[in-house]
């Protein structure tokens, strides 16, 4: 017996219900976890370390991503017609892409800070200040939003027949202009660079940190040596788990992102709805991972003097 499809959705009800349930849970956990992180870090003065400033900024990024989840849930149940207009279509995809880029940049720069703090502690203490970190965070957001700008023009409301537009066929999708002008190709390259460049950077940084900790395991002396070594290991472990989870989700997101873009270009032929939907849900995995890990990060990082 075939599954029944619900209304204008191309997915059977047996798929819609569990996916919607998972997304609602992700939404609740993401909103609650990131909101708590922001409030706690900003409420208590001793929590405003340089590391936690990055965490707070990333929580804002993930919070914005989760706020676009209801629109994707709507598309899951009723893909056609798109009723929220051109601006919401463009803005929801742009903010999602921009915030994803911002989170990737934050993780990379935060890992650089941990590298300096562990491998060059005295230089790091003088160079890494709260004032400088705030400027760095502003620069990261500016670069992330600027590099995501093509996405704003990549998406739009399209009709099946542009010569005789039927309001019942409105879709929020890649525009014909984006495909014909080469803008879609540019976006593919930017998305790919945003994944591989930070990934190679993180591999180098954590490899260097691991080598430094391994060499210095017998060099720490004094009554607090064991405690300091434990803190260093915990810091690297937490960031490592966080990065690993983000990379796994990032691979999934990037794969479906590129597959969806290639489908729009006609390079491969897949169901557009399936690809767009899978890509959208993958984009919520990473902030979901970040929210769960970040829930206990501030308490761990409070021992960091920076």
d(Cα 31, Cα 20) in Å, to the nearest integer?
16
d(Cα 264, Cα 270) in Å, to the nearest integer?
9
Q: What's the mean pLDDT in 112-125?
A: 85
Ramachandran class of 222: left when φ > 0, alpha when ψ lies in -120 to 50, beta otherwise:
left
Confidence of residue 135 (pLDDT cuts 50, 70, 90): very high
203 or 223: which leads in pLDDT: 203
22 or 258: which leads in pLDDT: 22
Domain-located, residue 1: no
Pull the structure tokens for residue 208: 């260097």
Burial degree of 299 (CB within 10 A; 0-12, 13-18, 19+): exposed
Domain-located, residue 54: yes
Flag whether pLDDT at 266 surpasses 50: no
241 or 140: which leads in pLDDT: 140
Q: What's the mean pLDDT in 22-34?
A: 88
Flag whether pLDDT at 36 surpasses 50: yes
Flag whether pLDDT at 87 surpasses 90: yes
Would you call the peptide bond into 81 cis, given omega within 30 degrees of 0 as the criterion? yes
Beta bridge partners of 174: 155
Domain-located, residue 46: yes
Q: What's the mean pLDDT in 242-257?
A: 54
Q: What's the mean pLDDT in 87-98?
A: 91
Q: Closest Cα partner for 191 from 246, 272, 264, 251? A: 251
Q: What's the mean pLDDT in 246-250?
A: 55
Structural domain that includes position 263: 13-301
Pull the structure tokens for residue 94: 């742009």
CB neighbours of 267 closer than 8 A, spacing ≥ 6?
none
End-to-end CA distance of the chain: 62
What is the average pLDDT value for the chain, to the nearest integer? 75
Give the pLDDT confidence score for residue 10 in this predicted structure: 63
Domain-located, residue 56: yes
Domain-located, residue 171: yes
CB neighbours of 198 closer than 8 A, spacing ≥ 6?
104, 105, 107, 108
Pull the structure tokens for residue 101: 């880029």
Q: What is the total count of domains within the chain?
A: 1
Q: Closest Cα partner for 253 from 45, 91, 99, 36? A: 99
- Tokens 């472990």 correspond to 237
Q: What's the mean pLDDT in 230-247?
A: 61
H or E, element range at 29: helix 13-43
The CATH number linked to 215 is 1.20.1070.10
Give the pLDDT confidence score for residue 64 in this predicted structure: 92
Give the pLDDT confidence score for residue 268 in this predicted structure: 38
Q: What is the DSSP string of 113-124?
A: HHHHHHHSHHHH
Domain-located, residue 8: no
Q: What's the mean pLDDT in 135-157?
A: 93
47 or 243: which leads in pLDDT: 47
Helix (H, G, I), strand (E, B) or coil at 216: coil
153-196 pLDDT, tens digit per residue, is 888 888 877 677 777 788 888 888 887 888 887 887 888 888 88
Give the pLDDT confidence score for residue 77 in this predicted structure: 84
Q: Closest Cα partner for 267 from 189, 195, 185, 191? A: 185
Domain-located, residue 7: no
Give the pLDDT confidence score for residue 109 in this predicted structure: 92
Flag whether pLDDT at 279 surpasses 70: no
The tally of CA atoms less than 13 A away on the side-chain side of residue 2 is 5
Flag whether pLDDT at 141 surpasses 90: yes
- pLDDT above 90 coverage of the chain, percent: 17
C-alpha separations of 79 from 92, 272, 290 in Å: 15, 11, 29
């Amino acid at each position: 017996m075939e599954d029944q499809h619900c209304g204008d959705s191309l997915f059977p009800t047996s798929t819609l219900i569990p996916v919607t349930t998972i997304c609602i849970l992700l939404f609740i956990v993401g909103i609650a976890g990131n909101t708590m992180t922001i409030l706690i870090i900003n409420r208590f003065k001793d929590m405003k370390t340089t590391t936690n400033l990055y965490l707070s900024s990333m929580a804002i990024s993930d919070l914005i991503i989760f706020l676009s989840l209801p629109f994707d849930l709507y598309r899951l149940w009723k893909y056609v017609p798109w009723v929220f207009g051109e601006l919401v279509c463009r803005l929801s995809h742009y903010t999602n892409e921009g915030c994803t880029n911002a989170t990737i940049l934050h993780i990379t720069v935060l890992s650089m800070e941990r590298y300096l703090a562990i491998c060059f502690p005295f230089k790091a203490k003088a160079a890494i200040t709260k004032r400088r970190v705030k400027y760095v965070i502003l620069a990261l957001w500016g670069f992330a939003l600027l590099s995501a700008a093509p996405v704003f023009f990549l998406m739009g409301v399209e009709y099946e027949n542009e010569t005789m537009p039927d309001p019942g066929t409105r879709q929020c999708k890649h525009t014909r202009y984006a495909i014909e002008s080469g803008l879609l190709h540019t976006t593919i390259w930017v998305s790919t660079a945003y994944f591989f460049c930070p990934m190679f950077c993180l591999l180098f940084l954590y490899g260097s940190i691991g080598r430094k900790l391994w060499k210095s395991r017998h060099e720490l002396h004094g009554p607090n040596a064991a405690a300091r070594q434990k803190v260093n290991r915990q810091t690297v472990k937490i960031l490592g788990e966080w990065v690993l989870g983000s990379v796994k989700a990032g691979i999934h997101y990037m794969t479906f992102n590129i597959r969806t873009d290639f489908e729009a270009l006609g390079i491969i032929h897949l169901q557009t709805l399936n690809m767009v939907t899978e890509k959208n849900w993958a984009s919520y995995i990473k902030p979901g991972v970040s929210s769960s890990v970040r829930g206990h990060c501030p308490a761990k990082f409070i021992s960091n003097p920076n």
